[in-house]
Amino acid sequence: MRKSYADYKKHLQQVHDLSVAAAILSWDKEVNMPINGAGFRAQQVATLNGLAHEQFTDPDFGTLINHLLMVESDPQDKRNLERSKSDFQKATCLDRAFVERKSKIVSIGYHKWLAARKENDFSIFQPALAQLITLKREEADKLGYADHPYDALIDQFEPGYKSAQLDALFEQVKTELVAFVRDLRAKPTVDDSFLYHFYPKDKQWSFSLDILKNMGYDFNSGRQDISPHPFTISFSPNDVRVTTQVNEQNFATTCWSSIHEGGHALYEQGLPAKQYGLPLGQACSLGIHESQSRLWENQIGRSYLYWQAMYPNLKKLFPEQLRQTDLDAFFKGINKIEPHPIRIESDELHYHFHILIRYELEKGLIEGSLEVADLPQAWNSKYKDYLDVDIKSDNEGCLQDIHWAHGSIGYFPTYSLGSFYAAQFFAQAKKDIPNLEDTLRQGDCKPLLDWLRINIFAHGRYYLADELCEKVTGERLNFRYFMDYAKAKYVQVYL
């Protein structure tokens, strides 16, 4: 291997190309692939992931990174090298055999989850999940940790974060947010029945595309499809794809899942293309990624300002369904506070109880205090304790999310982190863009998107999440911003 930065860049981009090829196969698996293709697809993805891992962990590449760190002076190039060195050190903890085994187990686990969902029977997924949990415990041991094995897994999604920090953050959720929600639930209920009329699939689909375009999503560099669980996947800033679900009996399902995934996609489309395949061409963290989806979904997509512009078009599309619903009633209805068993259909406040439950269960599974066979009972019990909800089936309970089938242990807390970052970022955007509320009222999202591109997207992984938050807002993550946002908004909803 040669000794220049160009050699480093070329090698890393080739590794990334292999990962992208595997990602394309994974996208096809969830959108188009016939069910009988699962076995060989698992092998194909595992081979590509194994090759990418082997090339990335080539000892000569590690030597090249160390050499260039001593001679490079350009701040961005040096930061790429620093991030690559950290990634290299973590990756070399996992050999190719482990990476390929992990890829196969994840692929099999996904299809077992699909089968379990089809039959509404956790026992079908249970053996595969047990394998996945054993694998993740092994992965945590290989990566190493000081205090708790879960720390090694959360670090993969939110670098530098520890379970002790999450414990403290969720303690604030348990105290401040629980009390606030309790007060709201004591007030007269809000009517959201208009959401549950019959909304034809084709019209919902058409409106979701209009929403994405309005947000600034570039359909020349992406597309939307249907999948069992909404997701975003990026192959480059010029090819970022989203999926959604459609429920003809619940308008909210498609609308806000498209907005949520659109927020993710805008981030990916806004990453610097010149840094393709390099750390500075990648998202800062999953928490920052979720801040973008949650900001668009909640601060924008559930705001009165935004629907002042969008609601007339929606009402023209569904005149009968919304005939007796004016804008005020619509705004209140889409922000109704009510416990719900399904995370992605939860209101934005109870949502964090869902994340808290998953966080506690994940920690238990990884540390061994909870067995996979006992998961449904533990899940149902926590939903009763935290949300006063009775879980009626496995699909409504511990089979509802795809994340564990993907082996994404440590991912769920980033949803709450993202919501809290989103509130802090949006508060700063309102300070920096004096006419932001006027532009949103007119349905113009461009000033906000431009602000996000400059302040969030352009940096890639130059900063860690808390560092980026401090650079943008002047302080690190502060739960107060979320509570201030929630209180200001729900005073309008529950007058």
Angle at 138 between CA 137 and CA 140, to 5 degrees: 65
Structure tokens at 407: 């082996």
Cα–Cα distance, 28 to 5 (Å, whole number): 34
Helix and strand numbers, DSSP H then E, in the chain: 21, 3
- The single-letter code of the amino acid at 299 is Q
Angle at 98 between CA 95 and CA 102, to 5 degrees: 140
Count CA within 13 A, CB hemisphere, residue 109. 25
Cα–Cα distance, 367 to 260 (Å, whole number): 32
Cα–Cα distance, 132 to 187 (Å, whole number): 44
Structure tokens at 415: 């949803």
From 30, 100, 139, 261, the catalytic residue: 261
Cα–Cα distance, 269 to 457 (Å, whole number): 9
Phi and psi at residue 159, to the nearest 5°: -50, 130
Best CA proximity match to 30, nearest among 114, 96, 112? 114
Instruction: Report helix, strand or coil for 319.
Output: coil
Strand order in the sheet with 232-236: 222-226, 239-244, 232-236
93, 37 in Cβ contact below 8 A?
A: no
Measured over the CA atoms of residue 146, residue 147, residue 153 and residue 158, the dihedral's sign is negative
444, 436 in Cβ contact below 8 A?
A: no
Best CA proximity match to 494, nearest among 272, 188, 107? 188
387, 380 in Cβ contact below 8 A?
A: no
Q: How many CB atoms lie within 10 A of CB 392?
A: 11
Best CA proximity match to 288, nearest among 447, 468, 433, 472? 468
Q: How do 239-244 and 222-226 pair as beta strands?
A: parallel
Residue 261 is a catalytic residue = yes
Phi and psi at residue 223, to the nearest 5°: -160, 160
Cα–Cα distance, 291 to 260 (Å, whole number): 10
230, 242 in Cβ contact below 8 A?
A: yes
Helical (H) or strand (E) element with 240: strand 239-244
Rg, Å, the chain Cα set: 22
Any idea which residues carry the catalytic annotation?
261
